[in-house]
Amino acid sequence: MAMNTTSSGFGGRVCLVMVVIISIQGTVVQLGGVVAADAGDHDHLLLQKQQQLKDNNIVYSLYVLGDSTLDVGNNNYLNGKDVFRANRPYYGVDYYPSFFVPTGRFSNGFNVADYISKKLGKGNSPPAYLSLVGSLSNYTLVSTALIVGVNFASGGAGILDSTNVGQCIPLSTQMRYMESTRAAMAARVGNRRVTDLFARSFFLLGVGNNDMFGYVTNPTPPDVAAFYAALIGNYSDAITGLYRMGARKFGVINVGLVGCVPLMRLHSPTPGDCNDGLNRLAAGFNEALAALLAGLADRLPGFAYSVADSYGFAEDAFADPAASGYTSVDTACCGRGRLGAEGECEPGCTLCTNRNQVAFFDRVHPSQRGCKLSADAYYDGPAQYTKPINFEQLASARSSALPRATA
C-alpha cells in the first residue's frame, strides 16, 4: 500500500553450480548439482517432492500478487526515481536474522505474505519475482516456482493500470509475469504437472488499497459506480485468468481501513480523525469484491476462496487497541511531524522504540506486529474475519473438481 505523496501533498563451456535451498513444512531440502549436466536430476527431485506433498494433502506452492502489504522486494529491481521503494533504513530494522538490513518490505520486519507463508509451513514468503529472473533461461525462477512459489506483489500497485503509473508493477503486469512463469514451468515439467500443482497451491491476493488513495486524490474522479465497475472488472479478469492457468485456491485480502492510516488522518477533514469518506469508499468496494467471489464460486467448478476482512479486523483493533497490545493506532513509528505522517520513513527521521506496540510502522503501512496479528486472524482466527472459510481450511481443502489438462 504505497502511495504518491510528492505532487498533491500526500505527499570454452561454462558449468555453473547452483544450489537451491527450499523449506517445506519445516524441512530443508537441498537441490544441488551442475546445471549443464544434471538438470534432469533436479527435475526428478522436484517432481518427487511434489508427489510427497500431494500424498500428504499439503499445499504445493504459494503465489502472491498484490501491493506493498505483500511486496518482498520486487520494487528494488525497478528503474525510475519515482518508484516506491523500501530499500533504505529504517525499513527492515527488526527483520530477523539480518537486523537493520532493508529487504524491500514496507515494514520494520516481516509482512503479511511472510506470515501466511509461515502458517502454510513454508518459511518466509517466496522470493520476489524480479530477484529470480535472468540467466540460465530462468532456471532459478522455474525451480523456485515449482516447489516454493513466487511473489509478484509490488508496492504502489493497483487493480487499475492508471494507479501510480510508472512507479510500480500493476496487477495486469503481475498477471503477465505469472503467465510467463507458468509457461516456463510447463516447458520444464509438462502442462499436466503444472496444472496439478496449481490446483493444490495457494494463491494469495491483496490489492486495491492504492486505487482508493488514487480516487480521493484525483481532482476529477469518476462516478463511484463506474469506479467500482472498473475495479471489479479488472479483478475478475485476474482471478479468472489464474483459474484458467489451473489455480483453484484463492486467499483474497480485501481493502483495509485506508482512511485511518496516519497520512489520511493528517489530511482528514478533521485532522487526526479517520477519513470516513475514504473508509466508506473502501467498504463499498469490499462488498462488490465479496459478491464477485461468491459469483465466481457459483459458476467455476472447483473454485475455492476465502475473503480475509482486513477492513473489519482493523476496525475492531482500533476500537480496542489494548486488546491487540497497541499503545498507538494513529501515529507512524517511523516518520516526521504530526502523527509521524509529515515525512517519509528514512535515515534521520524519528524512529520509535516500542515497535511491538504500534499499529503503523510508516505513515501508510502496518508494523510487523500488525502484519502478524492480521495473518493470524486470516489463517485460523475468529470466524468473523474470513468468509466463507478461513485460510487454513482453504489450504487443506480438496477440490471436488480439479482441472483436467493435456500433457
Q: Which residues are annotated as catalytic? A: 68, 362, 365
Cα separation, 181 vs 216, whole angstroms = 35
Cα separation, 294 vs 398, whole angstroms = 18
For residue 349, the number of C-alpha atoms closer than 13 Å in the C-beta half-sphere is 25
Tallying the residues shown for the chain, one arrives at: 407
Cα separation, 39 vs 34, whole angstroms = 8
Q: Are 255 and 275 in contact (CB under 8 A)?
A: no
Cβ-in-10-Å burial (0-12, 13-18, 19+) of 205 comes to buried
Cβ-in-10-Å burial (0-12, 13-18, 19+) of 313 comes to buried
DSSP 343-358: B-S-TTSEE-S-GGGE
Q: Are 397 and 250 in contact (CB under 8 A)?
A: no
Cα separation, 350 vs 353, whole angstroms = 10
Cα separation, 307 vs 291, whole angstroms = 11
Question: Alpha helix (H) ranges present in 217-354?
Answer: 224-245, 262-266, 276-299, 310-319
The one-letter amino acid at 35:
V
Q: Are 363 and 341 in contact (CB under 8 A)?
A: yes
Cβ-in-10-Å burial (0-12, 13-18, 19+) of 136 comes to middle
Cα separation, 291 vs 351, whole angstroms = 41
Cα separation, 1 vs 255, whole angstroms = 10
What are the residues facing 202 on neighbouring strands?
62, 249
Secondary structure letter of residue 76 according to DSSP:
G
Q: Are 181 and 394 in contact (CB under 8 A)?
A: no
